[in-house]
């Protein structure tokens, strides 16, 4: 059975047999039949390793969190997920170190993950659960950023643009000029600009 648990850079869920390289968690989104009933259950959206310490689980089990899947980390970041502190500890550490340099530390009474999750939640969806984007010049965006050209998502990587797809990327002809609608949340773009490089699918070459 193909579940609707593949995430695109817009943060939307789709049913497709294409496999991902990362797993995600937004809480319990499915019912007992495995049908998706909500977009998220809490603001702590994380991107996880596909396997961790030989733990095995059947996906879409009643009462357990809904396993979501991403093409790669650039996709997960664009959808509004951050690295998991448990199963992707090194990536989480690198992400939070860059976050601290540009956004500062957590305020008194808050943990850093709580602070990050609150900021990301406001920057990824609005109160009507619609994707939040912002305008920026394409040529000024850092590597790992994903932006929209019409209904298509485009990854900026090593000075080139790649059209996103569930199976991988394909090169775009040339570069986009002018302002674009950026899908990667603004606080994450700042982290990318600070030097955090997400893992990208090998189809970029």
How do strand 170-171 and strand 160-163 relate by DSSP bridges?
A: antiparallel
Q: Which residues, at least 6 apart from 31, have a Cβ–Cβ distance to it below 8 Å?
A: 37, 62
The per-residue pLDDT for 138 is 96
The per-residue pLDDT for 1 is 76
The per-residue pLDDT for 56 is 72
Q: How far is CA 53 from CA 27, 49, 67, 107, 199, in A?
A: 21, 10, 17, 33, 21
Low-confidence residues of the chain: pLDDT under 70: none
3-state secondary structure (DSSP) of residue 170: strand
Which burial class, exposed, middle or buried, applies to 8 when counting CB atoms under 10 A from its CB (0-12, 13-18, 19+)?
A: buried
Tokens representing residue 99 in the block: 């976050």
Q: Which of 184, 3, 198 is nearest to 83 (CA)?
A: 198
The per-residue pLDDT for 57 is 74
């Amino acid at each position: 059975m193909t579940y609707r648990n593949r995430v695109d850079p817009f943060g939307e869920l789709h049913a497709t047999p294409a496999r991902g390289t990362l797993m995600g968690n937004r809480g319990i989104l499915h019912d007992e039949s495995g049908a998706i009933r909500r977009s998220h259950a809490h603001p702590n959206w994380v991107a996880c390793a596909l396997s961790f310490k030989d733990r095995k689980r059947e996906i879409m089990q009643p009462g357990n969190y809904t396993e979501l899947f991403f093409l790669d980390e650039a996709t997960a970041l664009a959808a509004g997920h951050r690295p998991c502190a448990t199963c992707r500890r090194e990536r989480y550490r690198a992400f939070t170190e860059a976050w601290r340099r540009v956004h500062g530390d957590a305020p008194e009474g808050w943990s850093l993950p709580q602070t990050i999750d609150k900021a990301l939640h406001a920057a990824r969806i609005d109160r009507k659960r619609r994707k939040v984007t912002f305008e920026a010049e394409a040529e000024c965006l850092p590597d790992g950023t994903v932006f929209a050209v019409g209904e298509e998502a485009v990854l900026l990587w090593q000075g080139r643009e790649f059209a996103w797809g569930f199976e991988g990327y394909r090169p775009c002809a040339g570069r986009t000029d002018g302002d674009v609608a950026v899908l990667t949340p603004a606080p994450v773009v700042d982290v990318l600009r600070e030097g955090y490089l997400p893992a990208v699918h090998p189809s970029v070459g």
